[in-house]
Amino acid sequence: MKISLVVSLLVCTASHAFVSQSPRPFVRASSQVFATVEAPVARKTKAPVFDEVCETTGVTLSRFMNEVAMLNPELKELAILFGAIDTACKAITNLVKRSQLPSSETLGYQGEVNVQGEDQKKLDVITNDLLKRALRFTGRLGVLASEEEDVPVDLIGNDKSDSRDILIEEGEKYVAVFDPLDGSSNVDAGIPTGTIIGIYEHDENCVVDPDCIGDDCSEQEAQCLANTLQPGTNLVAAAYCLYSSSTILALTLGNGVYMFTLDETIGEFVLSKPNVKIPDDATIYSFNEANLEMWDAPMRKCVESWRMGTGKSGKTFSSRYIGSMVGDVHRTLLYGGVFGYPGDTKNPNGKLRLLYEGAPMSFIMEQAGGISTTGKKRVMEITPEVVHQRVPVIMGSKNVVQEVIDAYAAE
């Protein structure tokens, strides 16, 4: 039985199902302007072309990353980080799925309030720890910042007690920023949630003393921790995992968006949507409309015109809003339309966090051919001043989001 399974996993057939439609190099997100949202054109590295697909397993995430690494040796270390993300997303899938069982130890609140004044759920804390450990033990991480950590955490200098467990410490280091369980306030109702991750390059010369906290840090150490405060244009990779009817892992390495679906029968993420492109036009808007009266005039005007069918397309829009960014953005990527959380009179910068929600999701959106703006500025170009900075976000189909940009420009 075991032998035949192994054999069948190895039998692959030629297929063009996953041939990348327009292979492009993996490069950094450039400082492109709204008018040109296409991926950068410099051809330094190669994208894998899958002309052979294993019937039993399809193209797994690990095979995808191995091929990326073979074609682009400079991305080898990044592939190792994605191995950890793969494992963490599978583990979080199980935690979310089991969290509503009466016997579950992950049910309910932790009893703590995070630095943003939000009640931390046990799941927030557990998933944060899980992702942190998974990434850390790759030995490829320098600093991380998370929604659930008050300040950036240095992983090379700190946690010395555990350093014996880090197997590989050589090679390129990265900075990871993440929201381990976005939308967790919805989890008790069985509503989709997600993990959002952004990866930046790290300054190799940064070493932070384990005792460095706040004012005890030297200027150089503080600068190293501030390595997390980079604009989205510096992202080398971004990903989200959506925990819903299926678990979907979507990623970009600056060369288009690839979506993988978790096949639970084999325990692997399998490439299900290569080179995802968001439709340029669509008639769905996704906002917390209860805040409409508090938005500024251009935003209000756009949503009202879509509702009335008096916008540029002349079509009447439908509304879809989950209240869980990963779910709302995932649907927007596939069906088109616009998702947003604008600023309002109560919260001028809205609710979403720039570093681990706005920037990574904008990178993915732009790589799928969409636009992401505050209304006045490209989200990717904003450099965070503090880790938990908020940012207004309006992202989605090119022609629809352009209406918002035009409305603000005409102000």
Q: In the complex, which residues of this chain contact ligand AFP (CB under 6 A)?
A: 118, 182-186, 288, 323-325, 328, 341, 351-352
Question: In whole angstroms, how close is the CB of 331 to ligand AFP at the nearest point?
Answer: 12
- Element at 198 (helix H, strand E): strand 193-201
235 Cβ contact list (under 8 Å, min separation 6): 28, 29, 198, 199, 200, 254, 359, 360, 363, 380
Query: Between residues 66 and 288, which has the closer beta carbon with respect to ligand AFP?
Result: 288
Question: In whole angstroms, how close is the CB of 401 to ligand AFP at the nearest point?
Answer: 16
72 Cβ contact list (under 8 Å, min separation 6): 26, 45, 46
Query: Between residues 27 and 361, which has the closer beta carbon with respect to ligand AFP?
Result: 361
- Element at 285 (helix H, strand E): strand 284-286
CA distance 285 to 306: 8
CA distance 335 to 368: 12
Question: In whole angstroms, how close is the CB of 195 to ligand AFP at the nearest point?
Answer: 11
CB-CB contact of 51 with 9 (8 Å):
no
Query: Between residues 266 and 334, which has the closer beta carbon with respect to ligand AFP?
Result: 334
CA distance 6 to 25: 34
Query: Between residues 60 and 184, which has the closer beta carbon with respect to ligand AFP?
Result: 184
Query: Between residues 30 and 186, which has the closer beta carbon with respect to ligand AFP?
Result: 186
Question: In whole angstroms, how close is the CB of 121 to ligand AFP at the nearest point?
Answer: 9
- Separation in Å, CA 250 to CA 171, 193, 257, 360: 26, 14, 7, 11
Question: In whole angstroms, how close is the CB of 93 to ligand AFP at the nearest point?
Answer: 17
Query: Between residues 121 and 202, which has the closer beta carbon with respect to ligand AFP?
Result: 121
Question: In whole angstroms, how close is the CB of 338 to ligand AFP at the nearest point?
Answer: 13
- Element at 67 (helix H, strand E): helix 61-71
Question: In whole angstroms, how close is the CB of 351 to ligand AFP at the nearest point?
Answer: 5
- HSE-CB at 198 with a 13 A cutoff on CA atoms is 31
Query: Between residues 233 and 324, which has the closer beta carbon with respect to ligand AFP?
Result: 324
Query: Between residues 175 and 352, which has the closer beta carbon with respect to ligand AFP?
Result: 352
Query: Between residues 227 and 247, which has the closer beta carbon with respect to ligand AFP?
Result: 247
Helices (H) and strands (E) in the chain, counts: 9, 17
Q: What is the SS3 assignment for 247-273? A: EEEEEECCCCEEEEEEECCCCEEEEEE
CB-CB contact of 88 with 195 (8 Å):
yes
373 Cβ contact list (under 8 Å, min separation 6): 34, 379, 393, 394, 395, 401, 404, 405
Question: In whole angstroms, how close is the CB of 150 to ligand AFP at the nearest point?
Answer: 17
Relative orientation angle of helices 122-136 and 76-98, to the nearest 10 degrees: 160
Question: In whole angstroms, how close is the CB of 132 to ligand AFP at the nearest point?
Answer: 18
